[in-house]
């Protein structure tokens, strides 16, 4: 798992690329990136499957904010990004949400 941040000079936006390896995705056939940047909509952002079996997605996020997110594997198993900037207890479960700060 990894997060790559690219800040734009012309706009107050950061392009954040989220990546999961094949092993981290537990060989899932599909992965959704779900977070407060898409209203926790489980169908809003499917990650692109790579030839090596991993997954990636890039999202434009407003600067100077933090966003909670998680990965949804095969529509049923939630996974955190263990290289996230931090973690916050979820308001709807006993789990923690991953956090990206931009």
The residue segments making up the domain with residue 21 are: 2-101
Specify whether the CB–CB gap between 69 and 100 falls below 8 A: yes
Q: Using alpha carbons, list the distances in angstroms from residue 97 to 11, 15, 22, 87.
A: 27, 20, 21, 5
pLDDT on residue 54: 95
Give buried/exposed letters for 40-52 (b at 16+ CB in 10 A, else e). Answer: eeeeebebebeee
Query: What is the predicted pLDDT for the residue at 36?
Result: 94
* CATH code of 86's domain: 2.60.40.10
Measured CA to CA, the distance from residue 28 to residue 26 in angstroms comes to 5
pLDDT in tens, the chain (102 residues): 789 999 999 999 999 999 999 999 998 999 999 999 999 999 999 999 999 999 999 999 999 999 999 999 999 999 999 899 999 998 888 899 999 999
Residue 38 in 3-state DSSP? Answer: helix
Total domains in the chain come to: 1
Full-model pTM: 0.94
| In contact, 63 and 14? CB cutoff 8 Å | yes
Contact indicator for 18, 74 with CB cutoff of 8 Å: no
């Amino acid at each position: 798992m990894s997060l790559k941040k690219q800040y734009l000079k012309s706009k107050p936006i950061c392009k954040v690329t989220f990546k999961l390896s094949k092993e981290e995705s537990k060989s899932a056939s599909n992965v959704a990136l779900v977070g407060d940047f898409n209203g926790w909509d489980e169908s809003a952002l499917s990650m692109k499957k790579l030839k090596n079996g991993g997954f990636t997605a890039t999202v434009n996020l407003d600067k100077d904010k933090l966003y909670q997110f998680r990965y949804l594997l095969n529509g049923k198993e939630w996974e955190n990004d263990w290289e996230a900037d931090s973690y916050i207890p979820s308001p709807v479960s006993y789990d923690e949400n991953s956090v990206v700060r931009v």
